[in-house]
């Protein structure tokens, strides 16, 4: 298996409401675009398992996990916060989304896959140790990082987050862990508002409303990528949000598919240089259905070194 596409039908059954932007149509658009573009032939589809309690508890408090399980409704919907809503299918979907990253880490660390992309939902990078936030129930990428550290003996794991919103949940979970470096580009000031630490191990790159490819590439070229190279990760995780796209309705950054392709090539090169090519990406944001699939396809073309 060269490239693994880790997904599960359960992720379609998270239904937070007819007007909620984090809809099942997002995942459907991604899978349809990959099939239409021929990537389904080069990316082998793998079913995502559910994350175990032990895997979730590496980054989440036990009382939070209990609260999420209790909150899962048998009918209707239940709001965990102002933006994060559970339906009867949400607990299984969230467990699969976290389990997908864990399984993807196992695939690349064992050499069974050279790259993996988790086509799942709900997203995860806003979820904190003890609460849901910003459409996110479990911290999917963070759970994958913690699994790599606990189960595969790696000493350095890096996270690259290019979602238009700051990956506050992921950052908070590894604030005191020198084994983890996070490079994070995001629109600022924007959601989530509030202060965040300037610290070793976290590389924030602030984009202003209206910024486009020039600013995005400059930040990554001058700041994010050098920090990642110097860290020499043994595994690279990517929180792949596509809501910085110029057509996306939830933000004001002006990227297109070529920008995602460019950055993914650069991240792939870093993984090749120090991590034996081991790279795992997981879907975060992206809410314009007619551009999301194409942006993800561009990401996968570069991630799997297809068509390079």
Specify if 102 maps to a domain. Answer: yes
Work out the average pLDDT over 234-254: 98
Which CATH number do you get for residue 158? 3.40.800.20
pLDDT at 137 over 70: yes
Tell me the two tokens of residue 243.
């809501």
Domain containing 262 equals 3-303
Number of domains composing the chain: 1
> Using one digit for the tens of pLDDT, what is the confidence trace for 11-26?
999 999 999 999 999 9
Specify if 79 maps to a domain. Answer: yes
Average per-residue pLDDT in the chain?
96
Specify if 160 maps to a domain. Answer: yes
Specify if 193 maps to a domain. Answer: yes
Specify if 56 maps to a domain. Answer: yes
The DSSP secondary-structure symbol of 40 reads: G
The DSSP secondary-structure symbol of 244 reads: T
Given 125, 126, 219, 245, the catalytic residue: 126
Specify if 294 maps to a domain. Answer: yes
Specify if 24 maps to a domain. Answer: yes
pLDDT at 308 over 70: no
Question: Can you list the positions of beta strands (E) in the chain?
Answer: 3-7, 43-47, 78-79, 85-86, 115-119, 157-161, 180-187, 202-207, 235-240, 279-283
Specify if 308 maps to a domain. Answer: no
Q: Is 219 a catalytic residue?
A: no
């Amino acid at each position: 298996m060269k490239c693994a596409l880790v997904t599960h039908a359960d992720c379609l059954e998270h239904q937070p409401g007819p007007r909620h932007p984090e809809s099942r149509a997002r995942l459907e658009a991604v899978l349809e675009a990959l099939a239409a573009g021929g990537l389904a032939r080069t990316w082998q589809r793998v079913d995502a398992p559910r994350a175990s309690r032990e895997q979730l508890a590496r980054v989440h408090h036990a009382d939070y996990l209990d609260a999420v399980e209790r909150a899962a409704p048998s009918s209707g919907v239940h709001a965990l916060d102002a933006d994060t809503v559970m339906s009867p299918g949400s607990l299984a979907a969230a467990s699969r989304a976290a389990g997908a990253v864990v399984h993807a880490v196992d695939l690349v660390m064992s050499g069974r896959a050279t790259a993996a992309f988790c086509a799942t939902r709900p997203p995860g990078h806003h979820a904190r140790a003890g609460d849901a936030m910003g459409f996110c129930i479990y911290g999917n990428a963070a759970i994958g990082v913690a699994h790599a550290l606990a189960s595969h003996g790696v000493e350095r794991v890096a996270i690259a987050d290019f979602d238009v919103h700051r990956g506050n949940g992921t950052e908070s979970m590894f604030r005191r862990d020198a084994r983890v470096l996070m490079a994070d580009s995001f629109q600022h000031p924007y959601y989530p508002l509030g202060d965040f630490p300037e610290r070793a191990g976290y590389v924030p790159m602030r984009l202003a409303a209206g910024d486009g490819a020039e600013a995005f590439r400059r930040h990554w070229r001058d700041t994010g990528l050098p920090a990642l190279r110097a860290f020499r990760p043994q595994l690279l995780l990517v929180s792949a949000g596509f809501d910085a796209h110029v057509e996306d309705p939830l933000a004001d950054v002006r990227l297109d598919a070529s920008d995602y392709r460019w950055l993914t090539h650069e991240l792939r090169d870093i993984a090749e240089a120090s991590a034996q090519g081991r790279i795992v990406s997981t879907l975060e944001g992206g809410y314009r259905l007619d551009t999301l699939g194409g942006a993800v396809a561009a990401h996968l073309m570069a991630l799997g070194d297809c068509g390079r």
